[in-house]
């Protein structure tokens, strides 16, 4: 039975009233951390000390894990209460009630176009009880005891902040006084993690799940397979607002012969998938520093005294489709026997235009594999008289990831990283790249992947599946055959997923890297092969960022071994791989245009002289002072848009025997190129932008009324410091959709204190009234980093150190 909002809030408020004592201490002078007092306070209830160093980074210390979560919840809410409250509004399926059914869904947790579709989707998840069932077991399939304690404390800390501030006292105008900001319960946090885990599967088809229904007048036959079906799927799956780079250098590649790590995730700058920095310490049991997605009270990308790790969005397809052969509109055949679909009437409250509340109910259906689907990805997945489609998500019910990140936080070597990944099997959709004190560099794609071998795919894919699987990894299997179910491995915790022994793992003494391509070229000197297609492709053209990363690493190794500073310079050098390959030839093509004018797709021509000069003088970088970089980026975006997949504009094609250097040599005779250049020139002219204007003049964000230039370049250019901007035809690039977010460079020294720097590009707080809303953004603009304070003497020596002592009985 569903608990109403008012009943749940009243119960939580009543529970808060039982708090006997609340003590808060704040100091700006250098404190002496009283371990005895903290230990005694922990024995009486929840207790945590939060020490804030430069740029609002909290170092949270507690005597137990509940206290650690308590401090984390309080500090995270202080910085980002509105974003967090919106998350809990979303996973509770209450957006339509407070924002209206036609308001946008939250892109942080799925593809829903409207709040109504979002609510219908999340309400059916909640009604199904999948989250409750997945947290019921003990580990390995349910959360371990320490994780449960952290989440219990997190909820208390979040609620304490809200209780002390009050909804009307919130500084951020985005939710100040909003009726949808409310206390939370532990189930909200677990639902949040489940939404993140399924983001790469069911989260991509929210609208398709919410709209699926047997048709009133079904057609007799399924639609034919489109000739461009694979292109449609690639386009749909290629619009994710996440990416990453990570580089681990081993002892053979560093000056001090110890491990060095660059972590550079490319996540949204707004919304629920923002990172937030912290250090988490329970003396003798945990001491880890890094970033985590908002509301996840564990470090997800970070380091401790012995090992550092990062993640990159991986290529395995974590879900699959099944085509059902129907026996009736709501039953289907498996091995000749009819099975009835399960149905559930899902009801959500909605705010009507006159402000009154109403209810929308919809019957949603599921098969043995998962929810039924309406057409998605541009594919003809129509529910007809004879067939229908359903989705199976390998991360459905995955709470194991919480144990994974707890284990990573405690790991002491890359070997232990592999052991944690293999034992917990909870990473939902990312690779892991790590380096340690001993100088080992690790790439591991040990994550949740459907157990679909190439043999199973060949035997069971439908014609649609056969058309799209080779190039996309997405299966459409025959749901009428029992032998087409996903397989199992003896070392897998659950049936239906690959065991760890099947997954790509590589440990090196020189380096490994990943920029969202498959495992194949984690190190080009030792290509990884032999894994199933669903995990990734082998022997195919690599993304420009992969080629830039490998080239930059090899060039640095040729010059000399890596240091922390040289790794920082590698990222913020802002080199454009495509610029280095194509700018000179493009400038020459431009100079040879008839009459000095470039054609446009609109049918006219534009004067090209100044653009030609800008391209010839451009430094092939995307720094804020680079002149001509914005012109080249707009030009190459038009080139890419003219093709499905990688642009076919090179004289020397891709060669799997030379995968980093090929393709190369721009074919300036290709008619796409001058037209793309003409369109870019016209775009800049319409926006009033000079072709040779410094990048930062028209490539920026506006925060709290101030314009902050942004360096970095679009993914299509192969710039490691990736920035995907918002293009305004009247002004240029005026905001960032996603890109470099929580960055860390960690060098191990042989001692207990890693030599590390970090940077959070969009700063700690989403609240425009906070002192930490733009401070790190300005650092990012200037190419500066923040010294990481990991050891006690570093924390105590921070200028302006502020200490908050939280106590609650």
Active site amino acids = 244
Whole-Å CA distances, 302 to 81, 127, 261:
23, 35, 10
CB-based burial label for 604 (10 Å; 0-12, 13-18, 19+)? exposed
Give the pair of three-digit tokens for residue 527.
């290509």
Query: Is 355 strand, coil or helix?
Result: coil
Structure tokens at 458: 């060949």
Cα–Cα distance for residue pair 631/681, rounded to 1 Å: 7
What secondary structure letter does DSSP report for 285?
Answer: T
Q: Are 425 and 497 in contact (CB under 8 A)?
A: yes
> From the CA atom positions of the chain, what is the Rg in Å?
27
Its sign, for the CA torsion 422, 427, 432, 435, is: negative
The rounded distance, in Å, linking the Cα atoms of 521 and 324 is 38
Which candidate, 266, 288, 411, places its Cα nearest to that of 788?
288
What lies within 8 Å, CB to CB, of 203 at 6+ separation is: 109, 110, 111, 195
For residues 187 and 126, what is the distance between their CA atoms, to the nearest angstrom?
A: 10
Q: Structure tokens of 395?
A: 């991360």
Instruction: Report the relative pairing of strands 742-747 and 755-760 from DSSP bridges.
Output: antiparallel
Please tell me what DSSP assigns to residue 363.
E
Q: Which is nearest to 465 in space by CA: 181, 643, 222, 152?
A: 222
DSSP state of 349: E
Give the start-end residues of each E strand in 9-148.
22-27, 46-53, 57-61
**CB 340 within 8 Å of CB 331:** yes
Distance CA 180, CA 195 (A): 19
357, burial (CB in 10 Å: exposed 0-12, middle 13-18, buried 19+): exposed
DSSP 607-625: E-HHHHHHHHH--SB--TT
The two three-digit tokens of residue 293, written as one number: 């997605």
> Which structure tokens are listed for 234?
């690639």
Contacts of 97 (CB under 8 A, 6+ apart): 5, 119, 180, 348, 349, 350, 351, 357
DSSP 716: G
Beta bridge partner(s), residue 373: 389
- Strands 430-436 and 387-393: what pairing? unpaired
| Residues in the chain, overall count | 809
In three-state secondary structure terms, 390 is strand
Supply the angle between the helices 609-617 and 672-686 in degrees, to the nearest 10: 100
> Quick count: other Cβ atoms within 10 Å of Cβ 346?
22
- Let me know if 717 is exposed, middle or buried by CB neighbors in 10 A (0-12, 13-18, 19+): buried
- Calpha distance 711→728 (Å, rounded): 17
- Which of 680, 628, 252 minimizes the C-alpha distance to 440? 252
Burial class of residue 529 (count of CB atoms within 10 Å of its CB; 0-12, 13-18, 19+): exposed
């Amino acid at each position: 039975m569903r608990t109403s909002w008012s009943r749940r809030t009243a119960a939580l408020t009543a529970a808060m009233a039982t708090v006997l004592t609340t003590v808060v201490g704040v100091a700006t002078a250098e404190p002496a951390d009283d371990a005895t007092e903290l230990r005694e306070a922990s024995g009486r209830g929840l207790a945590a000390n939060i020490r804030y160093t430069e740029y609002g980074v909290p170092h949270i210390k507690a005597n137990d894990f509940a206290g650690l979560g308590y401090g984390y919840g309080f500090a995270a809410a202080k910085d980002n209460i509105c974003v967090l409250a919106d998350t809990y509004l979303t996973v509770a399926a209450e957006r339509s009630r407070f924002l209206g059914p036609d308001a946008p869904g939250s892109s942080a947790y799925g593809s829903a176009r409207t709040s109504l579709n979002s609510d219908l989707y999340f309400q059916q998840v909640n009604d199904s009880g999948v989250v409750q069932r997945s947290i019921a077991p003990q580990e390995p399939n349910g959360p371990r005891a320490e994780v449960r304690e952290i989440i219990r404390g997190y909820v208390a800390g979040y609620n304490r902040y809200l209780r002390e501030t009050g909804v009307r006292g919130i500084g951020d105008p985005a939710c100040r006084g909003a009726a949808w900001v409310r206390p939370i319960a532990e189930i909200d946090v677990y639902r949040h993690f489940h939404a993140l885990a399924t983001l790469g599967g069911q989260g991509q088809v929210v609208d398709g799940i919410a709209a699926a229904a047997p048709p009133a007048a079904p057609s007799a036959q399924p639609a034919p397979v489109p000739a461009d079906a694979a292109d449609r799927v690639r386009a749909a799956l290629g619009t994710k607002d996440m990416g990453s780079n990570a580089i681990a250098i081993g002892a053979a590649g560093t000056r001090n012969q110890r491990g060095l790590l660059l972590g550079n995730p490319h996540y949204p700058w707004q919304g629920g998938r923002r990172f937030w920095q912290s250090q988490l310490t329970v003396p003798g049991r945990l001491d880890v520093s890094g970033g985590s997605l908002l509301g996840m009270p564990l470090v997800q990308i970070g380091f401790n005294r012995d090992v550092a790790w990062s993640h990159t969005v991986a290529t395995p397809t974590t879900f699959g489709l099944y085509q059902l052969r129907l026996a009736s509109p709501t039953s289907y055949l498996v091995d000749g026997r009819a099975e009835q679909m399960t149905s559930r009437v899902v009801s959500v409250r909605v705010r009507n235009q006159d402000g009154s509340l109403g209810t929308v109910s919809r019957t949603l259906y599921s098969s043995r594999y998962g929810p039924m689907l309406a057409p998605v990805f541009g594919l003809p997945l129509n529910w007809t008289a004879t067939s229908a489609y359903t989705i199976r998500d390998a991360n459905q019910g995955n709470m194991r990831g919480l144990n994974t990140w707890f284990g990573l936080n405690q790991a002491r070597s890359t070997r232990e990283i592999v052991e944690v990944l293999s034992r917990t099997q909870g990473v939902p959709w990312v690779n892991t790249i790590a380096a340690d004190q001993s100088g080992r560099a690790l790439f591991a794609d040990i994550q949740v992947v459907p157990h679909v071998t190439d043999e199973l795919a060949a035997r069971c894919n439908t014609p649609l599946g056969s058309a799209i699987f080779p190039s996309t990894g997405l299966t459409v299997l025959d749901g009428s055959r029992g032998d087409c179910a996903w397989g199992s491995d003896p070392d897998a915790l659950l049936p239906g997923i690959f065991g760890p022994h099947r997954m790509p793992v590589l440990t090196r003494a020189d380096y490994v890297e990943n920029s969202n391509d498959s495992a194949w070229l984690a190190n080009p000197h030792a290509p990884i092969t032999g894994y199933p297609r669903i995990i990734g492709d082998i022997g195919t053209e690599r993304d420009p960022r992969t080629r830039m990363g490998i080239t930059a690493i090899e060039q640095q190794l040729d010059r000399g071994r890596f240091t922390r500073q040289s790794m920082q310079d590698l990222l913020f050098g802002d080199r454009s791989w495509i610029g280095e390959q194509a700018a000179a030839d493009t400038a020459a093509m431009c100079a040879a245009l008839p009459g000095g004018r470039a054609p446009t797709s609109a049918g006219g021509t534009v004067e090209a002289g100044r653009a030609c000069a800008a391209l010839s003088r451009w430094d092939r970088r995307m720094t804020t002072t680079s002149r001509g970089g914005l012109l080249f980026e707009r030009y190459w975006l038009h080139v890419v848009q003219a093709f499905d997949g990688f642009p076919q504009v090179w004289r020397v094609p891709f060669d799997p025997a030379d995968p980093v250097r090929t393709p190369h040599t721009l074919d300036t005779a290709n008619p796409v190129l001058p037209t793309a250049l003409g369109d870019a020139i016209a775009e800049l002219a319409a926006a009033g932008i000079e072709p040779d204007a410094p990048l930062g003049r028209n490539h920026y964000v506006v925060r709290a009324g101030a314009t902050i230039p942004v360096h970095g370049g679009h993914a299509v250019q192969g710039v490691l410091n990736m920035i995907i901007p918002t293009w305004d035809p009247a002004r240029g690039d005026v905001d960032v959709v996603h890109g470099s977010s929580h960055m860390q460079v960690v060098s191990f020294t042989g001692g207990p204190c890693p030599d590390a720097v970090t940077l959070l590009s969009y700063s700690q707080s989403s609240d425009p009234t906070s002192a930490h809303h733009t401070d790190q953004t300005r650092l990012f603009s200037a190419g500066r980093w923040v010294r990481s304070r990991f050891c006690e003497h570093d924390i105590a020596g921070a200028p302006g150190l502020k200490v908050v002592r939280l106590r609650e009985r």
